[in-house]
Amino acid sequence: MTNDIIGKTAFGIDFGLLRNPSNKKTNETSVNEDDEVSHFLEQHIRCTNSLKMGLNGSFSIILGIVVPILQEPFRQLLRRIPGTVDHRINVANSTLRDKMDGIVAKRESESSNRRGSKDFLSVLLNVREAKGGALKDLITPDYVSGITYEHLIAGSMTTSFTLTATIYLVAKHRTVEEKLLEEIDGFGWHDAVPSPIDLVERFPYLDQLGIQEIKLSLIHLYRRFVFRCSPELEEPPELEHGMVHEFKHGIKLRVIKRAFT
């Protein structure tokens, strides 16, 4: 869910993770047009899920917690030894970096298609080419690749946790959900994109919930869906504390599409 939203803002691509299988077939053509980006997202999700920074992570990370000065020397050594977690991380990073470079190169060659696009990658490339390319020496392709990937993954785990926890709590309190929907629907047509000023001034109830960092994500979701707790949901949800917080057994919710969307 979070990757779907961040993917849209980072690349301007609807990956369709929130669609049901029948709808995915209908939109197969649009997904195929951005096959490279879709493969990158799949690889990113696999790496995020398999290389979590818990105490079951790489030896160099664990060692770095205990003796920080030894982390980098051991990381450099272990990344060269097949079978180690550090080696897997290195391979995953190399794969993602190559895919990201390919995406940037392809999008850079499609300048006419980028005009008017508001996703992060398109905006950054448009800025790079503005004023006769005066900023090309400053905003290099490597810089574009790196900062776009950072935009995709920055806080993805903590954002995912916060977003999941918020949706779960809203599902448990219908009066909160009603006020939330009233404010979001009151903004305007469900395809209208709130400006930065709108996000500050037009959603006071969302501000009261103390969820500033995921406000746009919640607007995007609750315009289209409401959520109900599944009978299979563990109550109360058990937390697992590591380098990142997560729900030990996940949060099981039923996603209900709103009638007017």
Say whether pLDDT at 154 is over 70. Answer: no
Say whether pLDDT at 227 is over 90. Answer: yes
Single pTM value for the model:
0.48
Residue 59 CA to residue 61 CA, distance in Å, equals 5
* Residues contacting residue 46 through CB under 8 Å, at least 6 positions apart: none
Each residue of 10-63: pLDDT tens digit?
A: 666 655 544 554 444 444 434 444 566 667 766 666 666 555 544 456 778 777
Residue 164 CA to residue 250 CA, distance in Å, equals 9
* Pairwise pLDDT comparison (180 vs 16), residue with the higher score: 180
Residue 102 CA to residue 40 CA, distance in Å, equals 10
Q: Say whether 247 sits in a helix, a strand or coil.
A: strand
112-121, 160-169, 223-232: least confident range:
112-121
* Pairwise pLDDT comparison (41 vs 197), residue with the higher score: 197
* Pairwise pLDDT comparison (139 vs 51), residue with the higher score: 139
The domain locations on the chain are: 2-153, 156-257
What one-character-per-residue DSSP string does 139-154 give?
A: S-HHHHHHHHHHHHHT
